[in-house]
Amino acid sequence: MQNIKQLINKIATLDAKNLFGHDFINTWDKKETDLRQLLLVAETLKAMRDNNISSKMFDSGLAVSLFRDNSTRTRFSYSSAANLLGLAVQDLDEGKAQIAHGETVRETANMISFLSEVIGIRDDMYLGAGEKYMREVGDALTDGFQQGVLPRRPSIVNLQSDVDHPTQSMADLQHLVKYFGNLENLKGKKIAVTWAYSPSYGKPLSVPQGIIGLMTRFGMDVSLAYPKNYNLIPEVEQLAAKQAKENGSKFEIVDSMEAAFENADIIYPKSWAPYWVMGERTKLLNNKNHDGLKALEKQALAENANFMNWETDEAKVKLTKGGKALYMHPLPADISGLSCVNGEVTNKIFDRYRIETYKEAGWKPYVIAAMMLTSKFQNPAQVLQQMLNNASKRVLF
């Protein structure tokens, strides 16, 4: 209980400006104070649940979820987060909605929002489309609220776009904070964000972009590694370099896992499709060029096969600081000899850090709940203190 009170007191000292009444699309849209407050709110919510204290601050209301791509962790984390705060979850199945009959984004956004508090969207399939769609929904919600159609404007939470995956990167940051003791201890730590081989095609760019776009905000040295022509969105790479310079840290791009792993404190090997592939894929999809898509997939997989040595193994891990860098992954990983013949990481290495990756993922429900809470309540410290004062048991017996 004392720890919870201390966390709430810390929240009260932070003057966050871009959380209440705002959508959460990209981490770089937020100030450092906003992100610090979000981390503390997530930690407080976890502490309350661990101590059997209810955090149901909504008596009713919907949290709408729209997943345009497959998901396990984020889908269940979103539902868990909504339930933690007292909201009911309603999935928007576009195939069953009037969207299939030509209903516009503007109309859909308003029709699902009469009693909704939050809308979570995953739209990461098409480069140049996911974030654009989220902002289009946001504009429609603002219009509906201003015109008196909606009693409250629901806030949008980005559950992964083509550009950023803020719920993942913030959960990753929260995991690092707990692993290394506090946020200040992350300064000067080196994180290797590297491409890794996968036998599949078309993995989004948003996870590595989210990591380099966030960790450079907090004084971490980021080493980004990928084979030639496997770059991320250039503007995001430039943003990471700019943020590192502003925060006195380092950002580099290297062309081997070994170079990135050298003396690293944290390693984050994750496959992604090259920027040019994702751009070409979007064009082919928009043109309904199915033969072109098949040809692109064949080309991309053949190119991937040239870099099967981009696998996290014992030899590469020995290059890290003390040979004991923390391995991170958003899951599911392509595990060599287990989920595939050759993949991102050996079975032995993954199993060594398996529980840590589960703990990493375990922060996501609390991070999403914190995004929901801070977008709907102007004074989160006051709300959390009231919940603590009430001390209603989450489990009654």
Within the chain, how many helices (H) and strands (E) appear? 15, 11
Domains of the chain and CATH, by start: 2-164+364-390 (3.40.50.1370), 168-361 (3.40.50.1370)
Q: What is the pLDDT of residue 95?
A: 72
Measured CA to CA in angstroms, residue 110 lies from 19, 84, 141, 235 at distances of 22, 25, 6, 32
Instruction: Give me the amino acid identity at 343.
Output: G
Is there a contact between 86 and 57 (Cβ–Cβ < 8 Å)?
yes
Return the closest-CA partner of residue 218 out of 349, 6, 39. Answer: 39
Q: What is the pLDDT of residue 380?
A: 97
- Order of strands, edge to edge, in the sheet holding 116-123? 88-91, 62-67, 116-123, 155-161
211-239 pLDDT, tens digit per residue, is 999 999 999 999 999 999 999 999 999 99
Instruction: Give me the amino acid identity at 218.
Output: F
Q: What is the pLDDT of residue 102?
A: 67
Q: What is the pLDDT of residue 98?
A: 63
Q: What is the pLDDT of residue 94?
A: 78
**Separation of alpha carbons 207 and 203, rounded Å:** 9
Number of Cβ atoms within 10 Å of the Cβ of 133 = 17
Q: What is the pLDDT of residue 335?
A: 97
The b/e string for 46-60 (b: 16+ C-beta within 10 A; e otherwise) is: bbbbeeebbbebbee
Q: What is the pLDDT of residue 201?
A: 86
Is there a contact between 125 and 118 (Cβ–Cβ < 8 Å)?
no
Is there a contact between 99 and 70 (Cβ–Cβ < 8 Å)?
no
**For 248, what's the count of Cα atoms within 13 Å in the CB-facing half-sphere?**
4
Give pLDDT < 50 ranges for the chain.
Answer: none
